[in-house]
Amino acid sequence: MIVSAQDVLMEHSEGFAIIESGVPMSLDTPCQIASMTKALVSVAAMQLVERGLLELDAPIDQYLPELAEPQVLTGFDSEGAPQTRPASQAITLHHLLTHTSGFGYPFAQAQVLQYFTATGMPEPGTRQAITMPLLFEPGTDWAYGVSSDWVGLAIEAVTGQRLGDYLRLEVLEPLGMQNTGFFAAPPANLAAVYSRLPEGGFANLPIFLGGGEFDSGGGGLVSTTRDYSRFLQAMLGEGELHGKRILEAETVALMQRNQIGELRAGNFGSAMPQLTNSFDPLPDQHCGWGLGFMLNPQSVPKGRAAGSMAWAGIFNSYFWIDPASDKAGIMMTQLSPFADARALKAFAALEHTAYA
C-alpha cells in the first residue's frame, strides 16, 4: 500500500491469510505487526514528553525502579556463568527510544542468548524476559533489543493506564485505527504465520506474540495494512491526519532527526535463525536512528529520499515514511523467519513502484 499525507496512492492485496481454509489476505486482515508496534509506542511516549510527564534525558528509573543500578555484561566465566559490572550512568528515555540503552534480544545477539541459556530461558511475555544485563554502557553503541517494552512500561507508570488503553485513547482512535490493539489471545480472524518448506509450499507456525504479563510495547500489537497506513499518513502530515493531531509538528521533526551521532543503526545479526536472518536493510548506508525510527542519510536509488523514517516487523512486514516526497509505503506479510529474501525483494519493488 502506498499513501500520501491525504490520499491512498496505491493498494493491493494477494495470497491467503489462512492457506488451509482458503481465507484470502486483504488490506483489512488482522496481522501481528510485531516490531512495527515500536513506532506507535514511541509516538505515545513523545506525547507524554510534550505534556511534561516524561523527560527524554532524565534517569528512567524514577518510573521504572527495576532499571536502577543497571549492570553491563562483560563476559562468561569458565563454567558459563555471566560476569557483570555496574554501569557508569543511568538509562534514560532517550536511550530506550534510540536503542542505545544496551538492551538486546536473544534472537539478535549471541551474548543475550548465552546469558539466558546460562540463567534460564524465561517465559515470553513476562518481565523476566526483558530483564537482562546491558551489552554496553548506555549511549555508547546501538543494539536492537527490548528497549521499547520498557518504554511501554514507563508509559503505564506515569499514566496509571494499561499501555493498550492509553494507545487506544490517545493514538489509535484519533487516527481511526479501529482494528488495532493488544489481544490476550489470537483473534478469530487473525492471519496465520507461515514458514517456507524446502520442497515448496508453507508450514503453519502456531506463534502469537500477544498476551503475557504486560502489553508488549516492543511487539505485541495486532493491526491491518489499512489501519497502519493511517499512522504513516499522520507522520507524513507532521502529526496530524484529517484534522486529528496526535503530536506537534516540532515533535515529529525531532523524532525524524538523527539522535545517535556517528553510531550506525538498523542492522543486527541472528542468534536464532529459525526466527530471523541477519538484517541490514541499507548495507551501503551508515543509517542513523531518530526517536523510534531508522533514518537513511542518503536517498535510496529509485526510492525514498534522505532522512526518511522506516522499520519492520519480524513476520516480514516493512514500512517507510518519506516526508520530503510526501510518500509512505507498507507491506504486510505473516512469514517467518524475518528478512526473507523474496519478501525483501517484494518490498523493494513496492518502493520502486511508488517513485516510478
Q: Are 256 and 98 in contact (CB under 8 A)?
A: no
- Taken as a whole, the chain contains a residue count of 356
- 82/28 Cα distance (integer angstroms): 46
Map grid coordinates 549492570 to a residue.
71
- 26/209 Cα distance (integer angstroms): 21
C-alpha cell at 354: 511508488
Q: At what angle do helices 225-236 and 37-50 cross, to 10 degrees?
A: 40
Residue 318 bears catalytic tag:
no
- 193/180 Cα distance (integer angstroms): 18
Q: Are 241 and 308 in contact (CB under 8 A)?
A: no
Report how far Cα 168 is from the mean position of its chain's Cα atoms: 18
Residue 38 bears catalytic tag:
yes
Q: Are 44 and 156 in contact (CB under 8 A)?
A: no
Residue 42 bears catalytic tag:
no
The catalytic residue among 35, 42, 270, 336 is 35
Q: Are 319 and 312 in contact (CB under 8 A)?
A: yes
The catalytic residue among 38, 194, 270, 308 is 38
DSSP letter assigned to residue 14: -
- 356/352 Cα distance (integer angstroms): 6
C-alpha cell at 112: 543475550
Cis before 82? omega within 30 = no
Q: Are 307 and 320 in contact (CB under 8 A)?
A: no
The catalytic residue among 63, 105, 115, 144 is 144
Burial 284-301 (b: 16+ CB within 10 A, else e): ebebbbbbbbbbbeebbe
Q: Are 126 and 132 in contact (CB under 8 A)?
A: no
Three-state DSSP class for residue 76: strand
**Catalytic residues, which ones?**
35, 38, 144
